[in-house]
Amino acid sequence: MNHFRNLDLNLLVYLDALLREQNVTRAAEQLNITQPAMSNGLKRLRAILNDPILVRTSDGMVATERALAMQSQVQKILYAVEEVIQPTRTFTAASSDRVFRIMISDYAASTLMSPLLKALREQAPHVTIDLMTPSDVSFHDVENGKVDIAINRFDDLPQSFHQKLLWRDDFTCLVQKDHPLLANYNLKNYLEAQHCWVSKTGFGVGIGMTPDAVQKLGWVDEALAKIGKQRRIRVFTRNYHVAMHLTLEGLIATLPTRAAKLYENHPDMVLREPPFAIPPIDLQMIWSPLLQHDEGHKWFRQLVAEVAAEL
C-alpha cells in the first residue's frame, strides 16, 4: 500500500509507452517529453518494481518477462482512468455535426460507404465522415481514440481493442467477357492466365512485392500454395478498383465477392466462382476502450453494424 501511495500515475503512462516502443527515445517522443525525463521515469519504475523493465541486448532494448506480463493490466488501468475523467457528452444524431474518422480498406469502403452515407443522410445529415487508409494510421492511433473505428481484416489485434464481426465474405473471379479462359474454365487454364494481385492491407506502410514471394502473402495465393499451385501474376496493386478495372486489359482478378459484385452489371465483365477452394475472410470493426461508452460512438458503430448486416 505504501508503494501505491507513493506512485505517480504518470509513471504508468511512462511504462505503457516504454513497453510499446521498447526504446527510451521513441517513448519520450510519443509522450512529447525529453529523453532525460523518460530516463528518470524508467529509473524510478525500476526502483518501485525491483525489475529492470528494459534490458539491452544485441537486438536492442527488450522488455523483461515481468514487464510484458504487466502490459495489458497497465493499459486497462490507464483506460479506466481515462474513462472516469472524460467529460460526459450528450449526443443527438439529428443535430450532431460530429466528425467520425474511419480507417478502412478500399474493399470495405467500396461496399459499405454508399449505404452508410444513405443512412446518415436520413438519421444524421450534419455528421461528417473522414476516411483513412490502413497506411495512414497505426494501432496506437486507434487505441488512443484518434481514429474512431477501423474496418478491415485483422490477423492479430491488441487484447485491449473492442471488436465486432461485420460480415464474412467468400471469393469471386472477375473476368473480361471475351477472355479465352471462359471457353474452358478450369484450374489449369486459370493458372495459365495472367492475374492481378490485390494486397491484404493492414496497418502501416506496405512493402514491394515479387512473383517469387507472393504465394504465401495473400488469401488467394495461400490457398493455391496449399494445393501446390501458383498463378501467373503480372500486376500487384493495393487497390481493389484498380484490380477490377484491369480485368478489361485481360487480367483475372480474384476478389472478395462483395467487391466483385460491384461490377456484376458491367457489360464487359463476367463473374465466376474460383476453380479451387479459398477460405472465407472476416471483415471486422475495431475501436478503442476509450470510446466504448461514448454515446455518439455507440450510436455510430451500431449504425455501421446495422448497415453491414443489410448488405
Task: Evaluate the CA torsion angle 143, 144, 148, 151 in order and state its sign.
Answer: negative
d(CA 122, CA 124) in angstroms, rounded, equals 6
Q: Which domain-ending residue is among 85, 109, 139?
A: 85
Domains: count for the chain:
3
Higher per-residue pLDDT: 21 or 82: 21
Looking at every residue in the chain, the average pLDDT score rounds to: 87
Task: Evaluate the CA torsion angle 294, 295, 296, 299 in order and state its sign.
Answer: positive
Report pLDDT digits (tens) over 79-127.
777 766 666 667 899 999 999 999 998 889 989 999 999 999 999 999 9
Q: Is the pTM of this model over 0.75?
A: no
d(CA 290, CA 301) in angstroms, rounded, equals 14
14 and 106 assigned to the same domain = no
271 and 182 assigned to the same domain = yes
pLDDT at 1: 43
Report pLDDT digits (tens) over 237-284.
888 889 999 999 999 999 999 999 999 999 999 999 999 999 999 999
292 and 162 assigned to the same domain = yes
**Which DSSP string corresponds to 27-95?**
HHHHHT--HHHHHHHHHHHHHHHTS-SEEEETTEEEE-HHHHHHHHHHHHHHHHHHHHHSPP----TTT
pLDDT at 2: 46
d(CA 108, CA 260) in angstroms, rounded, equals 12
- Residue 213 covered by a domain: yes
Domain of 289, CATH number, reads: 3.40.190.10
- Residue 90 covered by a domain: no
144 and 156 assigned to the same domain = yes
Q: In which domain, by residue range, is 8 found?
A: 2-85
Q: Which residue has the cell 481493389?
A: 240
Domain of 78, CATH number, reads: 1.10.10.10
273 and 177 assigned to the same domain = yes
- Residue 151 covered by a domain: yes
- Residue 7 covered by a domain: yes
Distances from the Cα of 121 to the Cα of 90, 174, 192, angstroms: 20, 32, 47
- Residue 196 covered by a domain: yes
For the residues 9-15, what does the mean pLDDT come to? Answer: 84
Closest C-alpha to 106, from 239, 234, 296, 300: 239
